[in-house]
Chain A
Amino acid sequence: NAGVTQTPKFRILKIGQSMTLQCTQDMNHNYMYWYRQDPGMGLKLIYYSVGAGITDKGEVPNGYNVSRSTTEDFPLRLELAAPSQTSVYFCASSLGGEAFFGQGTRLTVV
């Protein structure tokens, strides 16, 4: 059972470029989340989804977009990357309160 899979694991972007962080879960969970974690800091919720076709903003949504066309996939889109978006990004899914996290994507914007 793969759980939550994130790709890529590492990425370097130039300022102004765009990219999509992929997240897939195989546990048939309705709830999915995107977080960012800056060095030495906690987790900040970017966006979340309660099911296919339904997404909502979290604490820090500016500069990001999401979509949820299937239960399995919850991609995070960065448009016009900025140095402030340098962070580690985690995707998670949950069922009954228990969350399962991916291994993260380390993104550097230069």
Chain B
Amino acid sequence: QQQVKQSPQSLIVQKGGISIINCAYENTAFDYFPWYQQSPGKGPALLIAIRPDVSEKKEGRFTISFNKSAKQFSLHIMDSQPGDSATYFCAPPDMRFGAGTRLTVKP
């Protein structure tokens, strides 16, 4: 049984637009909320992560926001670029990744 539910499954954004991917979780004991990026032909790599003691963390164009009451955390990609085209995964503590979100940024 998946501990997280990710949406949408796929996303197409124009260059310069904002990409938003959401991850809902059930277990309130989670204490680490990471997003992984998998570029074509490569293994996933940690993109950004947040602990529940903060509501938002920004690293360049990537922002992760955390809503404890809604049990949801989100990835925002500002000024999306074609190089951001990849599959993005949120990961629960049991490391059972879901299907991910395939992002395509059109030039």
Point out residues on A near B: beta carbons under 8 Å.
4, 31, 33, 35, 40-43, 45, 48, 58-59, 90, 92, 94, 96-104
Task: List, sorted by A's number, 12 A–B pairs whose CB atoms are closer than 8 Å.
Answer: A42-B99, A45-B95, A58-B96, A90-B43, A92-B44, A94-B95, A98-B32, A99-B44, A99-B46, A99-B91, A99-B95, A100-B45
> Hey, which chain A residues are within 8 Å of B97, CB to CB?
35, 42-43, 45
A33 to B42, CA, bound (A): 16
| 7 closest cross-chain pairs (CB), A and B | A101-B43, A97-B32, A42-B99, A43-B97, A42-B100, A90-B43, A101-B44
- Our count of residue pairs bridging A and B at CB distance below 8 angstroms stands at 54
Q: What 0/1 pattern do residues 32 to 53 of B give for CB contact below 8 A with A? A: 1010100000111110010000
Q: What 0/1 pattern do residues 84 to 97 of B give for CB contact below 8 A with A? A: 00010101010111
A45 to B93, CA, bound (A): 13
- Assign chain B's interface to a size class: 20 to 34
Q: Is the interface of A mostly helix, strand, loop or mixed?
A: strand
Q: Are B91 and A42 in touch, CB under 8 angstroms?
A: no
Q: Which residue of B lies closest to A45 (CB)?
A: B96
Q: Are B34 and A98 in touch, CB under 8 angstroms?
A: yes
Q: Are A48 and B43 in touch, CB under 8 angstroms?
A: no
> Hey, which chain B residues are within 8 Å of A102, CB to CB?
43
Known: A90-B44, A101-B44, A101-B45; 9 extra A-B contacts, CB below 8 A, are: A31-B95, A33-B95, A42-B89, A42-B99, A45-B95, A90-B43, A92-B43, A98-B32, A98-B34
Q: Are B99 and A41 in touch, CB under 8 angstroms?
A: yes
> Hey, which chain A residues are within 8 Å of B87, CB to CB?
42
Q: Are A96 and B32 in touch, CB under 8 angstroms?
A: yes
A31 to B100, CA, bound (A): 22
Q: Which residue of B lies closest to A35 (CB)?
A: B97
Partner of B98, one of A42, A48, A94: A42
Give min CB distance, B76 to chain A, whole Å. 20
A10 to B45, CA, bound (A): 21
